[in-house]
């Protein structure tokens, strides 16, 4: 149990990780010790490892609550030693929070497989940030650095003035949609991952937000966007490869919102999409980096583009060097 060596899938064993929440360390090493005693750690399962049953252990620790959620990822659940060791951890009396088992038999580098079941405790983690409650399933993506995620939410809320309808694309589990709905905006959140949509809808209900106030659409952004005809403000928070082909052009050329808020986890993809945006009458109002992963080169960036009929293409005297 440890961290990947740079640029590889080789695991470097560690005895502690000072970056992790101590609750996460305690849970991870409690499982590790039980598996060592049961002699199921000798060979790990995975595309570059042996033929064992264990793949990984994912531990979530909430920032705004005391809750934890652990997911043991295995190649199959038929190993009696593994079952006995897991049972000893669960009945030991020192493990709080939900515990799940994920079956991942495919030989790929994805973290989770398709099948997950709850072994003990809550089925979702309850998180609290930006005055909003979120419910997060074991395999649903949620920002790892929740401290910085709260900064992201604050930046997005600051960029969108009160009132107006919002279209939230690549919405995930509603990190931005639900706080905006709580503030009074009517919005539609588009996300292709159905597990994330289910979590977003559960979180909306927990926050007593009506479905008419915050509606989730479980479809890929590139296929769903043609069904929308207007939006006062649009948020995009795409994966590392950036927005799908044609999405930026469709937003700025057809929907023509007052503002586009682009939340990026990849500066290269952001630069490409902003180059596409430069063909439309929008001006960049703000660019704010957020250090999501300290001690690494990774950075999140929030960019606000505002519709400006006076803005022209790249290199124009109206946009070059002009402070806004």
How far, in Å, are 61, 63, 73, 242 from residue 24 at the CA level? 6, 12, 16, 31
**pLDDT for residue 39:** 84
Nearest partner of 242 among 227, 262, 228, judged by Cα: 262
**pLDDT for residue 44:** 62
* Predicted confidence (pLDDT) at residue 110 exceeds the cutoff of 90: no
Q: CATH classification of 128-307 is 3.40.50.300, yes or no? A: no
Residues with a catalytic annotation lie at 265
CB 281 within 8 A of CB 305: no
Query: Which residues of the chain does CATH 3.40.50.150 include?
Result: 128-307
Of residues 136 and 43, more confidence is placed in: 136
Joined tokens for residue 247: 């999405």
pLDDT 10s digits, 255-314: 999 999 999 999 999 999 999 999 999 999 999 999 988 888 889 999 999 998 665 444
* Predicted confidence (pLDDT) at residue 187 exceeds the cutoff of 60: yes
pLDDT 10s digits, 190-212: 999 999 999 999 999 999 999 99
**Alpha carbon distance 324, 321 (integer Å):** 10
* Predicted confidence (pLDDT) at residue 50 exceeds the cutoff of 80: no
Of residues 11 and 199, more confidence is placed in: 199
* Predicted confidence (pLDDT) at residue 317 exceeds the cutoff of 80: no
CATH topology of domain 2-123: OB fold (Dihydrolipoamide Acetyltransferase, E2P) (2.40.50)
**Alpha carbon distance 63, 69 (integer Å):** 12
CB 269 within 8 A of CB 238: yes
Nearest partner of 259 among 289, 225, 236, judged by Cα: 236
Q: What is the mean pLDDT of the chain?
A: 89
List for the chain the helix, strand, coil content (%; round to 5).
Answer: 25, 25, 45
**Alpha carbon distance 109, 129 (integer Å):** 30
Beta bridge partners of 118: 100
**pLDDT for residue 43:** 59
Query: Which residues of the chain does CATH 2.40.50.1070 include?
Result: 2-123
- Confidence tier at 42 by pLDDT (50, 70, 90): low
**Alpha carbon distance 105, 112 (integer Å):** 9
**Alpha carbon distance 184, 163 (integer Å):** 7
Residues in the chain: 324
Report the relative pairing of strands 54-61 and 68-74 from DSSP bridges. antiparallel
Beta bridge partners of 133: 128
* Predicted confidence (pLDDT) at residue 67 exceeds the cutoff of 60: yes
- Confidence tier at 156 by pLDDT (50, 70, 90): very high
First-last CA distance in the chain: 49
How far, in Å, are 70, 158, 314 from residue 319 at the CA level? 50, 23, 7
Q: Quote the Cα angle for 308-311-312, to 5°.
A: 145
């Amino acid at each position: 149990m440890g961290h990947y060596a740079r640029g590889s899938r080789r695991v470097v064993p560690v005895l502690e990780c000072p970056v992790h929440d101590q609750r996460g360390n305690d849970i991870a090493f409690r499982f590790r010790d039980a598996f060592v005693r049961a002699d199921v750690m000798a060979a790990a399962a995975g595309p570059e490892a042996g033929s064992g049953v264990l793949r990984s252990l994912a531990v979530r620790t909430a920032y705004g609550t005391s809750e934890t959620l652990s997911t043991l990822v295995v190649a199959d659940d038929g190993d009696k030693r593994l079952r006995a060791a897991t049972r000893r951890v669960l009945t030991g009396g020192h493990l709080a929070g939900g515990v799940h088992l994920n079956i991942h038999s495919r030989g790929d580098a994805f973290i989770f497989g398709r099948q997950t079941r709850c072994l003990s405790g809550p089925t979702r983690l309850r998180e609290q940030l930006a005055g909003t409650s979120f419910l997060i399933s074991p395999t649903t993506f949620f920002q790892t650095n929740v401290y910085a995620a709260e900064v992201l939410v604050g930046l997005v809320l600051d960029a969108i003035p009160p009132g107006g309808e919002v279209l939230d694309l690549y919405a995930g589990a509603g990190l931005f949609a639900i706080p905006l709905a709580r503030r009074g905006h009517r919005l539609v959140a588009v996300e292709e991952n159905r597990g994330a949509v289910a979590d977003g809808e559960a979180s909306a209900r927990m926050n007593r937000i009506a479905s008419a106030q915050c509606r989730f659409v479980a479809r890929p952004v590139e296929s769903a966007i043609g069904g929308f005809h207007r939006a006062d403000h649009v948020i995009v928070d795409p994966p590392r490869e950036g927005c799908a082909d044609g999405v930026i052009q469709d937003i700025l050329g057809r929907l023509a919102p007052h503002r586009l808020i682009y939340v990026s986890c990849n500066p290269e993809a952001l630069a490409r999409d902003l180059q596409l945006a430069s063909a439309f009458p929008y001006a960049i109002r703000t660019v704010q980096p957020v250090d999501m992963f300290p001690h690494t080169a990774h950075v999140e960036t929030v960019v606000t583009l505002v519709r400006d009929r006076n803005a022209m293409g790249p290199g124009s005297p109206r946009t070059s060097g002009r402070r806004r």
